[in-house]
Amino acid sequence: MFPITLRPDQMAKELAEFGEKLTHGSRTLAGIGDIEVGACAKEVVYQEDKLTLYRYQPRVKQPHPVPLLIVYALVNRPYMTDLQEDRSLVRGLLDAGLDVYLIDWGYPDAADRFLNLDDYINGYIRRCVDRIRARSAQERINLLGICQGGAFSLCFSALHPERVRNLVTMVTPVDFHTPDNLLSHWVRQIDVDLLVDTLGNVPGELLNWTFLTLKPFRLTGQKYVDLVNILEKEEAARNFLRMEKWIFDSPDQAGEAFREFVKQFFQDNGLVKGTVEIGGRRVDLKDLSMPVFNVYATQDHLVPPASSLAMKSLVGTRDYSEFAFRGGHIGIYVSGRAQKEIPAAVAEWLNARSG
């Protein structure tokens, strides 16, 4: 028996309905205009090369005296943490009374071709941390590293523990060789020397399409078919386009830093083996003596939970905690449940250790 029944009258009805939705949708899209991102007021407190350090305007009268610096990945743009008013990790942290700073890496160009991990971690991050320490008169501040920015924060905190009071990591890879890490299986096979020596900086479009092909049917086809069903609602369409703007806003990667990250983290699994070297110094996660809060997503296809959870057996601190968010790599920032759970969990954990 054929499992699918095709009725001409039903097919004609569904095609007519689909056409009506497309007609309404085209009117909605034509009237939306520019897509804005960002919800929270902020000021520039430091700039260097392409980097900008922002401080968000506090939303309570007396924010917590120990500042929190968010270190985002070099991939994609950090406004994912403050996408819109009702989807903002930053807003949730501000409402919880935290004093929030964020590093925006900008868009590297040919002049940045030879920036390496030493420049990013011992250079840019250290100078941002020192600037915040001086502004706040705090000897140590709190760090919150996201994805690759979490790996950078682990390295920075291990190399400069005297500057970090508490470390929070979100969807951060540690063990790059877990069997369920499809991205790592691909990256471990590439000739990164040939790639960087040929291209110089690595195009953001190349990386972006690599991420999309991890879920090709869902991310390049099905979601656009589903889009037709929400186009009658302007706000829903606007939210969809805002996410699309972020997804395809992919900065190029400084070639030398990309080469080092692929070799030391993906191919050599250096955080687990203790072989990562930044600026001639070996990174040993046992040097993480400060409290560590590891937030991971249970359905993360880019950073599988096992990759993050490997951190527990490697850090030197006895004050290590985990928080499992039921969702994926992006949902941990923008889903409705994330707005309720993540800022509150981070703030509660920090407030208990920053008094």
**Residues that are catalytic:** 147
What is the DSSP pairing of strand 51-56 with strand 100-104?
Answer: antiparallel
Dihedral of CA atoms 210, 88, 323, 181 in degrees, nearest 10, equals 0
CA-to-CA distance for 102 and 54, rounded, in angstroms?
A: 5
Encoding tokens for residue 302? 């880019």
DSSP 150: H
30, amino acid identity = A
Report how far apart, in Å, the C-alpha atoms of 218 and of each of 6, 99, 140, 208, 213 are: 25, 38, 43, 15, 9
- Kind and range of the H or E run holding 9: helix 8-32
Backbone angles phi, psi at 71, to 5 degrees: -110, 105
DSSP code per residue over 304-321: -HHHHHGGGGT-S-S-EE
Contact 341, 314 (CB under 8 A): no
What is the chain's percent helix, strand, coil content, to nearest 5? 50, 15, 35
Report the candidate in 72, 84, 240, 27 with the shortest Cα–Cα distance to residue 168. Answer: 72
